């Protein structure tokens, strides 16, 4: 008898497999299944249309009927009463479950809720807080989510006035019958295109309410009776969802042909498709995925409305996607296979002796191969299932390996991308924002991979969407150590980049005109002053104020006034040279900054005057503002600059004074700043002399403002400088710190104040009630970069004998404008001794997250300019929420300045988890005795 060789074993196994197939049941007729939609046919339900049209349901053995929803149709009731097998619901399903309805959530069809509120600005609504006590229209599906949003935004329950939404047009809103109405982000915003500035869209996510959108559900009884059918329907529906999001135009044509009961246009449906994709985010989250943590957040939201208890048990509510019980036919098939294998084993034992010698010869080779295979399997398992993009690239730029995560992220199957160059597939030729040549970057990486161990760049998915990835690159050598390729591991940082860009836009650009605002202008002006000092060329600041703008607002309304401001912004940008800046300071005030003028002051003045005349001529042209024809003029003040001898604030003041002189001269004119305006400059000169004498006399001291946690406990103080003037009494820092910075006197003042701060910490350390307090001290950029700064700080701490971790040095983002490496090095020396660092006035500078990550910070302080309007300005509220979230992501303690109302305290501490606050709500700056008294009183 011959040995059983590998080919013969394969024949036997194939024969056994054929016998197993004979045991399988024959195909049955399709199972009739129905699904109840929550609303009328639209792209929102494209998953079902695509699954039906593409045959996914038919392949799963299902005959599916899609039941249209509409007003008065309760999808949950239809499913629970047996009129439908499946339904589309919302996050409110968890409330239905608590109330006794046996619903089970199968899959999240939208990762974020499309629910929002739409308001008309002309009805007096500028933020969500303007809805307090006013009628807000909501339908039954959205009522709970909207109520949770209004509560989270700080509106008392008694002042929430929800009315039934019966009108799904814009009529009730236009007539002012309701202050706001519920809309779907995928639908109604299409109607207001071109008029967005007239409306306000308010989303629950801005207040931390992030619920699921559409959710596929069934009942527990259906799952128990038909587990295979439920699993098949869910899988086919999610397959349809993926197809619909990847082929929106095809599915839109399908809706227009079969499901367009609402009569929507193709353009409207494509708009809806784009919005649904943003709410579903299949590029980030696996379609259908349900996070238990997100559902726990949903429970907490509804518990806040007393809809269900906060500890409601979610067991059985979230569908278990694990495989069902083994079908009945499988054991029989396995039994047949076992019998067949038993016969095969008998034959194997008979030839065992003949094969023994061959086995011994192959034993060592088999062990080596097995070890290699196990190592390869472990490696592949690690790489394929890594929660990161992993790919390998040859030195010619072609992809040689592409893991599963990369497939999901970029949208390519491995076999589609292998062998193709990265540029043009997953790397665009140029970055969209910066226009950086990415083809050149890739060539540089391929030529010198050792120089690019880390890089961040824009990438591109298969459907053309731009994403940002942070890459870690490692050279792959051959057996001789020569590079043969590059291993690249990538992390998606798109959302972080978008968050950074959103914060930058909110903080640095005017919402109406999209021009740079005062913050960004000041930053650019600081840079222009530095550049002017280096190249010795003049610059000029043109301060522009529209004449009689108030009259236009009063006679035609703010909407027409806004149109004029937008048109003025466009005209100013159109008549500027490349490199010049246009900004809006607020109201009807604009500023133009000119750089690179002549080195001669007379020639530079002539160039600036030509620009001013051009601006005046441009702004005098007739404006067509809707139905209103308007003529406008402007008064322009001009101030020249050439170096840093004149600071930013002083330069703006000079241009402003010149503008008022132009207005006094009869308007529609321009004026230069002249010596007659030097009174303020002379006053500053006198102040400088008094500051120098104050340093010699030691007239500077501290007042301290409490810093408290969410419970109101005082954990520290900020030391605020005061000047005890022999004639004027106490002088606030705003009157002398700026001049001290410009003249360099801040270094001597800072040394004096640092010594006082350390002595105060020593005094408090000796008292049990105050020994826990930290002291935050502002450090100017000029003081920080002084050669002896580090030694001076350490010497004062040692002399006072206090714990270094009691001292918090507050720095501003202006430190980052100069040598960042030197800044980090100095901070690390001080931090090694125990001193902590806080970045003060965060958001008012011009730093990036890349710089922030390099700094050894402990704390982030939100500037009072963002806090003061969070109750009325949705932009400031969103910025503060983003700053708290960003600080916590970076592992920093977050402190909010300027907290003056209970509403601000609630929003920051309770809604968004701000760690500490300071402001007049907790106490004004007081001498050290007042702090000690406050601590004793609290105890």
pLDDT tens by residue, 552-584 = 988 999 999 999 999 999 999 998 888 889 999
Buried b / exposed e across 424-433, counting CB within 10 Å, b at 16+?
ebbbbeebee
For the stretch 600-610, pLDDT in tens is: 888 899 899 99
For the stretch 123-170, pLDDT in tens is: 988 888 889 999 999 988 788 899 988 988 888 889 999 999 877 788
Instruction: Please state the rounded mean pLDDT for residues 527-531.
Output: 89
What is the model's pLDDT at position 579?
A: 81
Contacts of residues 504-509 at CB distance under 8 Å and 24 or more positions apart, as own/partner, are 506/875, 506/878, 506/879, 507/843, 507/844, 507/866, 507/879, 508/846
What is the model's pLDDT at position 806?
A: 95
Averaged pLDDT of the chain: 86
What is the model's pLDDT at position 916?
A: 96
Q: Are 190 and 268 within 8 A, CB to CB? A: yes
pLDDT at 660 over 70: yes
Instruction: Please state the rounded mean pLDDT for residues 582-609.
Output: 92
Tell me how far apart the alpha carbons of residues 562 and 162 are, in angstroms, rounded to a whole number: 31
pLDDT greater at residue 939 or residue 239: 239
pLDDT at 878 over 50: yes
Tell me how far apart the alpha carbons of residues 315 and 302 are, in angstroms, rounded to a whole number: 17
Q: Residue 226's pLDDT band (boundaries 50, 70, 90)?
A: very high
Instruction: Please state the rounded mean pLDDT for residues 466-493.
Output: 90
pLDDT at 24 over 60: no
For the stretch 750-786, pLDDT in tens is: 999 999 999 999 999 999 999 999 999 999 888 999 9
Phi and psi for 280 in degrees, rounded to 5? -95, -35
What is the model's pLDDT at position 357?
A: 56
Cα-based torsion angle of the residue sequence 80, 85, 86, 90 in order, rounded to the nearest 10 degrees: -10
What is the model's pLDDT at position 376?
A: 47
pLDDT at 236 over 70: yes
**% residues pLDDT > 70 (the chain):** 88
pLDDT at 367 over 60: no
Tell me how far apart the alpha carbons of residues 781 and 524 are, in angstroms, rounded to a whole number: 17
Q: Which two tokens stand for residue 387?
A: 């929660």
What is the model's pLDDT at position 335?
A: 52
Tell me how far apart the alpha carbons of residues 785 and 818 are, in angstroms, rounded to a whole number: 9
What is the model's pLDDT at position 14?
A: 39
pLDDT at 859 over 80: yes
For the stretch 191-208, pLDDT in tens is: 888 777 788 888 888 777
Which residues, 6 or more positions from 118, have their beta carbon under 8 angstroms from its beta carbon? 173, 180, 181, 182, 183, 188, 189, 192, 199, 200, 201, 202
Which helix (H) or strand (E) segment is 2 a member of? none
Instruction: Please state the rounded mean pLDDT for residues 723-732.
Output: 91
Which segment of 9-18, 70-79, 403-412 scores lowest on mean pLDDT? 9-18
pLDDT at 6 over 60: no
pLDDT at 77 over 90: yes
Q: Is the dihedral of CA 632, 637, 642, 645 positive or negative?
A: negative
What is the model's pLDDT at position 144?
A: 87
Q: Residue 368's pLDDT band (boundaries 50, 70, 90)?
A: very low
Q: Residue 848's pLDDT band (boundaries 50, 70, 90)?
A: low
Q: Residue 358's pLDDT band (boundaries 50, 70, 90)?
A: low
What is the model's pLDDT at position 322?
A: 65
Phi and psi for 135 in degrees, rounded to 5? -70, 130
Instruction: Please state the rounded mean pLDDT for residues 487-516.
Output: 86
Nearest-Å Rg of the Cα atoms of the chain is: 35
pLDDT at 549 over 50: yes
Q: Are 147 and 209 within 8 A, CB to CB? A: no
Instruction: Please state the rounded mean pLDDT for residues 722-741.
Output: 90
What is the model's pLDDT at position 341?
A: 59
pLDDT at 8 over 60: no
For the stretch 449-463, pLDDT in tens is: 888 888 999 999 999
What is the model's pLDDT at position 678?
A: 54
Q: Are 644 and 529 within 8 A, CB to CB? A: yes
Predicted TM-score (pTM) of this structure: 0.39
List strand residue ranges (DSSP E) for 843-911, in order. 859-862, 893-896
Which segment of 349-358, 751-760, 878-887 scores lowest on mean pLDDT? 349-358
Counted residue by residue, the chain has a size of 939
Instruction: Please state the rounded mean pLDDT for residues 20-39.
Output: 70
Q: Are 163 and 137 within 8 A, CB to CB? A: yes
Instruction: Please state the rounded mean pLDDT for residues 582-601.
Output: 92
For the stretch 684-720, pLDDT in tens is: 778 889 999 999 999 999 999 999 999 999 999 999 9
For the stretch 250-272, pLDDT in tens is: 999 999 999 999 999 999 999 99
Q: Residue 15's pLDDT band (boundaries 50, 70, 90)?
A: very low
Which residues, 6 or more positions from 936, have their beta carbon under 8 angstroms from its beta carbon? 769
Residues facing 862 on adjacent strands = 842, 896
**% residues pLDDT > 90 (the chain):** 56
Q: Are 179 and 136 within 8 A, CB to CB? A: yes
The residue with tokens 């009730």 is: 172
Q: Which of 126, 146, 131 is nearest to 179 (CA)?
A: 131
What is the model's pLDDT at position 12?
A: 40
Tell me how far apart the alpha carbons of residues 861 and 916 are, in angstroms, rounded to a whole number: 9
Which segment of 71-75, 312-316, 542-546 scores lowest on mean pLDDT? 71-75
How is residue 45 annotated by DSSP?
G
What is the model's pLDDT at position 719?
A: 96
């Amino acid at each position: 008898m011959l040995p059983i060789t590998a080919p013969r074993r394969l024949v036997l196994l194939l024969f056994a497999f054929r016998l197993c197939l004979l045991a399988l049941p024959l195909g049955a007729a399709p199972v009739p299944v129905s699904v109840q939609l929550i609303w009328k046919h639209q792209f929102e339900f494209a998953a079902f249309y695509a699954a039906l049209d593409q045959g996914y349901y038919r392949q799963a053995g299902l005959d599916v009927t899609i039941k249209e929803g509409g007003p008065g149709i309760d999808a949950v009731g239809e499913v629970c009463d047996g009129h439908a097998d499946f339904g589309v619901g919302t996050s409110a399903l968890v409330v239905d479950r608590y109330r006794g309805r046996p619903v089970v959530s199968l899959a999240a069809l939208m990762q974020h809720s499309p629910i929002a509120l739409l308001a008309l600005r002309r009805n007096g609504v500028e933020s969500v807080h303007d809805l307090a006590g006013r009628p807000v229209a909501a339908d039954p599906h959205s009522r709970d989510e909207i109520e949770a949003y209004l509560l989270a935004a700080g509106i008392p329950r008694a002042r929430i006035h929800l009315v039934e939404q019966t009108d799904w047009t814009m009529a009730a809103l236009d007539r002012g019958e309701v202050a706001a109405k519920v809309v779907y982000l995928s639908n109604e915003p299409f109607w207001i295109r071109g008029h967005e500035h007239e409306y306000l869209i308010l989303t629950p996510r801005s207040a931390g309410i992030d619920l699921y959108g559409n959710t596929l559900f069934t009942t527990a009884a259906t799952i128990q009776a038909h587990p295979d059918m439920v699993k098949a329907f869910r899988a086919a529906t999610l397959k349809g969802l993926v197809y619909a999001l990847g082929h929106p135009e095809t599915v839109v044509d399908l809706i227009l042909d079969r499901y367009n009961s609402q009569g929507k246009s193709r353009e409207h449906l494509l708009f809806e498709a784009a919005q649904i994709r943003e709410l579903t985010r299949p590029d980030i989250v696996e379609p259908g995925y349900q996070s238990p943590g997100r559902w726990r957040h949903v429970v907490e939201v509804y518990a806040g409305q007393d809809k269900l208890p906060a500890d409601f048990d979610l067991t059985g509510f979230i569908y278990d996607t694990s495989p069902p019980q083994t079908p009945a036919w499988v054991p029989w098939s396995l039994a047949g296979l076992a019998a067949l294998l038993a016969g095969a084993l008998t034959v194997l034992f008979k030839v065992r002796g003949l094969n023994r010698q061959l086995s011994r010869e192959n034993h060592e080779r088999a062990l080596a191969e097995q070890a290699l295979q196990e190592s390869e399997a472990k490696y592949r398992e690690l790489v394929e299932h890594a929660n990161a993009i992993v790919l390998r690239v040859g030195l010619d730029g072609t992809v040689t390996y592409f893991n599963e995560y990369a497939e999901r992220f970029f949208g390519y199957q491995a076999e589609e991308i292998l062998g193709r160059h990265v540029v043009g597939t997953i790397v665009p030729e140029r970055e969209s924002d910066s226009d950086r040549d990415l083809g050149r970057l890739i060539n540089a990486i391929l030529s010198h991979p050792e120089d690019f161990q880390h890089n961040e760049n824009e990438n591109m998915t298969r459907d053309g969407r731009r994403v940002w990835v942070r890459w870690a690159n490692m050279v792959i050598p051959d057996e001789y150590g020569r590079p043969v390729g590059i291993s690249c591991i990538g992390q998606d940082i798109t959302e972080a980049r978008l968050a950074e860009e959103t914060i930058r836009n909110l903080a640095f650009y005017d919402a109406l005109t999209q021009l740079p605002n005062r913050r960004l202008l000041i930053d650019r002006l600081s840079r222009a002053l530095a550049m002017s000092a280096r190249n010795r060329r003049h610059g000029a600041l043109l301060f522009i104020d529209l004449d009689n703008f108030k009259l236009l607002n009063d006679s035609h309304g703010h909407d027409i006034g806004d149109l004029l401001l937008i048109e003025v912004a466009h005209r100013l940008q159109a008549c500027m040279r490349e490199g010049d800046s246009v900004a809006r300071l607020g109201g009807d005030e604009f500023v133009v900054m000119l750089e690179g003028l002549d080195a001669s002051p007379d020639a530079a003045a002539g160039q600036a005057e030509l620009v001013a005349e051009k601006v005046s001529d441009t702004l005098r042209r007739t404006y067509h503002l809707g139905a209103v024809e308007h003529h406008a003029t402007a008064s322009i003040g001009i101030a020249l600059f050439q170096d840093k001898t004149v600071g930013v604030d002083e330069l703006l003041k000079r241009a402003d004074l010149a503008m008022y002189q132009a207005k006094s001269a009869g308007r529609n004119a321009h004026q230069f700043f002249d010596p007659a305006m030097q009174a303020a400059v002379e006053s500053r000169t006198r102040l400088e002399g008094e500051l120098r004498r104050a340093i010699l006399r030691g007239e500077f001291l501290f007042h301290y403002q409490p810093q408290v946690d969410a419970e109101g406990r005082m954990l520290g103080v900020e030391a605020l400088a005061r000047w005890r003037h022999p004639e004027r009494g106490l002088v606030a820092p705003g009157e002398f710190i700026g001049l001290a910075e410009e003249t360099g006197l801040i270094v001597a003042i800072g040394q004096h104040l640092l010594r006082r701060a350390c002595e105060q910490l020593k005094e408090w350390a000796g008292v049990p009630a105050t020994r826990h307090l930290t002291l935050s001290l502002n450090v100017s950029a000029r003081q920080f970069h002084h050669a002896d700064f580090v030694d001076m700080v350490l010497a004062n701490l040692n002399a006072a004998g206090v714990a270094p971790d009691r001292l918090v040095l507050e720095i501003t983002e202006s430190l980052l404008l100069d040598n960042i490496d030197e800044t980090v090095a100095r901070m690390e020396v001080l931090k090694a001794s125990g001193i902590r660092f806080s970045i003060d006035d965060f958001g008012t500078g011009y730093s990036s997250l890349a710089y922030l990550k390099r700094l050894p910070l402990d704390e982030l302080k939100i500037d009072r300019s963002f806090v003061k309007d969070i109750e009325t300005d949705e932009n400031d509220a969103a910025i503060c929420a983003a700053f708290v979230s960003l600080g916590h992501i970076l592992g920093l303690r977050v402190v909010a300045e300027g907290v003056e109302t209970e509403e601000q305290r609630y929003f920051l501490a309770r809604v968004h988890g701000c760690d500490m606050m300071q402001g007049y709500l907790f106490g004004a700056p007081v001498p050290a005795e007042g702090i000690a008294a406050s601590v004793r009183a609290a105890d």
